[in-house]
């Protein structure tokens, strides 16, 4: 349930309502808008409906939230959130780009990629230190050494660092090295991990599961936010369909759907979304045109030698071209996107 306080409500009246909710063993999340304060109530439905909230001074109305996710819904907060990752804002109308190799392979490889990413104007360096590979015989990542290389590349370039964590142990380790942690498609419903990142308080990039509906994905985000961490950015990375030409089917309609349903920012990963480097530029353009808050793109200084996902990685020249193309499109679209 959402409680809308009247525009004249005093702080004391807000505090009284919040106090009563918490006394009843429920969670209260307060969101102060420009004109009105809204209080999201989470907990047992029976206890919520027994509370005489509308009798409290300063309460304008109560509105039930019918979706299974609450805090990440626009019913709870109409304004879309801006997630600040070490000074880089995601969801403020600008286009944020995270780029880099699929996996951290060596310090030389990572620094080479980081230099190109920096030169392109992208804000984030990505790179996997823990690789959840489909085959146990594929390269599994450099673990802690990979994190050290990422931190080093961040220091050298000033780029923000995002990397995937695959369990609570890797999360605890990565937290000391990176600016943002990524929950990959394969772990989107690893609820223990979602709760752990929710408690950690570091910004989270939550990828859509391989076969997850939008509702399941938003519920996964709700797990994180319900632990108190609102700094969640969603990432559409394609879903499994009957199509086999592409690695996944990039669901660009999810961008508009999520922006309608949720207050969280959403970016698009056309690399995993297609599995083919030739499709990455057109799908990046389409994602920007659809209103995505950013992109995640795999780029390698030598895709033919990449230890992971070479066929979907752009080479530096193509990546720099893509960055010019999306910047031009973004400025053309300014003020033109359908809301
Ligand atoms: C990745 O970004 O490195 C990755 C493994 O992506 P996904 O979880 O979307 O497959
Ligand atoms: Mn990859």
Residue nearest to atom 5 of ligand 1 (CA): 184
Residue 339: pLDDT band by 50, 70, 90 thresholds?
low
Residue nearest to atom 10 of ligand 1 (CA): 185
Q: Residues 172, 285: one domain?
A: yes
- Residue 68 domain-assigned? no
Q: Residues 28, 119: one domain?
A: no
User: Which of 185, 188, 246, 268 is the pocket-test mutation for ligand 1 (most atoms within 8 Å of CB)?
Assistant: 185
Beta-strand relationship, 180-183 and 160-165: parallel
Count the alpha carbons within 13 Å of 101 in the hemisphere toward its beta carbon: 32
Residue 338: pLDDT band by 50, 70, 90 thresholds?
low
- Residue 135 domain-assigned? yes
Q: Residues 327, 298: one domain?
A: yes
Q: What is the pTM of this model?
A: 0.94
CATH of the domain at 38: 3.30.70.1140
Find the domain containing 141 and state its range: 83-338
Cβ pair 229, 200 in contact under 8 A? yes
- Residue 150 domain-assigned? yes
In the chain, what percentage of residues exceed pLDDT 70?
99
Query: Which tens digits make up the pLDDT trace of 235-253?
Result: 999 999 999 999 999 999 9
- Residue 99 domain-assigned? yes
**Of the given ranges (130-139, 166-175, 249-258, 292-301), which has the lowest mean pLDDT?**
130-139
Q: Residues 183, 273: one domain?
A: yes
Residue 231: pLDDT band by 50, 70, 90 thresholds?
very high
Query: Which tens digits make up the pLDDT trace of 132-151?
Result: 888 999 999 999 999 999 99
Instruction: Mark which of 34, 63, 92 sits at the end of a domain.
Output: 63
**Of the given ranges (9-23, 42-56, 116-130, 295-309), which has the lowest mean pLDDT?**
42-56
Q: Is residue 337 over pLDDT 80?
A: no
- Residue 90 domain-assigned? yes
- Determine the Cα–Cα distance for residues 54 and 76; give it in Å rounded to an integer: 17
Joined tokens for residue 13: 């009246």
How many residues does this entry show for the chain? 339
| Structural domain total, the chain | 2
Residue 76: pLDDT band by 50, 70, 90 thresholds?
confident
- Closest Cα to residue 161, out of 188, 124, 128, 134? 124
> Given this model, what pLDDT does residue 271 score?
98
Cβ pair 14, 5 in contact under 8 A? yes
> Given this model, what pLDDT does residue 75 score?
87
Average pLDDT of span 68-86: 93
Average pLDDT of span 256-279: 98
Q: Residues 242, 290: one domain?
A: yes
Beta-strand (E) ranges in the chain?
A: 2-5, 27-32, 37-42, 59-63, 83-85, 88-90, 96-100, 124-126, 160-165, 180-183, 204-207, 232-236, 266-268, 294-298
Q: Residues 55, 88: one domain?
A: no
- Residue 25 domain-assigned? yes
Residue 201: pLDDT band by 50, 70, 90 thresholds?
confident
- Residue 78 domain-assigned? no
Mean of pLDDT over the chain: 96
User: Which of 269, 283, 295 is the pocket-test mutation for ligand 1 (most atoms within 8 Å of CB)?
Assistant: 269
Residue 34: pLDDT band by 50, 70, 90 thresholds?
confident
Q: Does residue 141 come out as left (phi exceeding 0), alpha (psi in the -120 to 50 range) or beta?
A: left
208 CA → ligand 1 middle, Å: 10
Cβ pair 131, 308 in contact under 8 A? yes
Phi/psi at 76 (nearest 5 deg)? -80, -45
Residue 298 beta carbon below 6 angstroms from any ligand 1 atom: no
Q: Residues 16, 93: one domain?
A: no
Q: Residues 6, 98: one domain?
A: no
Average pLDDT of span 177-184: 98
**Of the given ranges (38-42, 166-170, 279-283), which has the lowest mean pLDDT?**
38-42
- Residue 170 domain-assigned? yes
Joined tokens for residue 102: 């699929």
DSSP three-state, residue 31? strand
Q: Residues 250, 218: one domain?
A: yes
CATH of the domain at 248: 3.20.20.70
Atom of ligand 1 nearest to the CA of 132: 5
Q: Residues 166, 295: one domain?
A: yes
Q: Is residue 223 over pLDDT 90?
A: yes
Q: Residues 106, 8: one domain?
A: no
Q: Residue 260: which residues within 8 A CB-CB, separation 6 or more?
A: 74
65 CA → ligand 1 middle, Å: 32
Instruction: Mark which of 10, 31, 63 sits at the end of a domain.
Output: 63
Q: Residues 59, 203: one domain?
A: no
In the chain, what percentage of residues exceed pLDDT 90?
90
> Given this model, what pLDDT does residue 33 score?
81
């Amino acid at each position: 349930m959402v409680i809308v306080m009247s525009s004249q409500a005093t702080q004391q009246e807000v505090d009284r309502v919040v106090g009563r909710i918490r006394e009843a063993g429920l969670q209260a999340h307060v969101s102060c808008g420009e004109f009105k304060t809204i209080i999201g109530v989470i907990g047992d439905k029976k206890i919520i409906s027994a509370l005489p909230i509308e009798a409290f001074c300063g309460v304008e109305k109560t509105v039930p939230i019918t979706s299974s996710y609450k805090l990440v819904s626009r019913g709870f907060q109409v304004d879309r959130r801006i997630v600040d990752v070490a000074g880089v804002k995601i969801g403020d109308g600008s286009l944020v780009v995270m780029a880099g190799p699929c996996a951290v392979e060596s310090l030389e490889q990572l620094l080479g990629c980081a230099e190109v990413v920096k030169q392109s104007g992208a804000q984030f360096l990505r790179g996997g230190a823990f690789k959840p590979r489909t085959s146990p015989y594929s390269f599994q990542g450099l673990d802690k050494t990979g994190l050290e290389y990422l931190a080093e590349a961040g220091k050298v370039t000033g780029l923000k660092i995002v990397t995937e964590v695959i369990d609570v142990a890797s999360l605890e380790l990565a937290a000391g090295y990176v600016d943002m942690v990524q929950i990959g498609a394969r772990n989107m419903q690893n609820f223990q991990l979602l709760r752990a990142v929710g408690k950690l308080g570091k910004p989270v990039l939550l990828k859509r599961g391989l076969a997850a509906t939008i509702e399941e994905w938003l519920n996964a985000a709700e797990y994180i936010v319900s632990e108190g961490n609102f700094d969640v950015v969603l990432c559409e990375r394609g879903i499994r369909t009957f199509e086999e030409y592409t690695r996944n089917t990039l669901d660009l309609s999810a961008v508009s759907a999520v922006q309608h349903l949720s207050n969280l920012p959403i970016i698009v990963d056309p690399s995993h979304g297609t599995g083919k480097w030739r499709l990455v530029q057109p799908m990046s353009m389409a994602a920007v045109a659809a209103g995505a808050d950013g992109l995640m793109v795999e780029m390698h200084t030598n895709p033919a030698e990449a230890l992971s996902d070479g066929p979907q990685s752009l080479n530096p020249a193509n990546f720099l071209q893509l960055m010019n193309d999306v910047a031009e499109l973004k400025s053309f679209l300014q003020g033109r996107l359908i809301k």
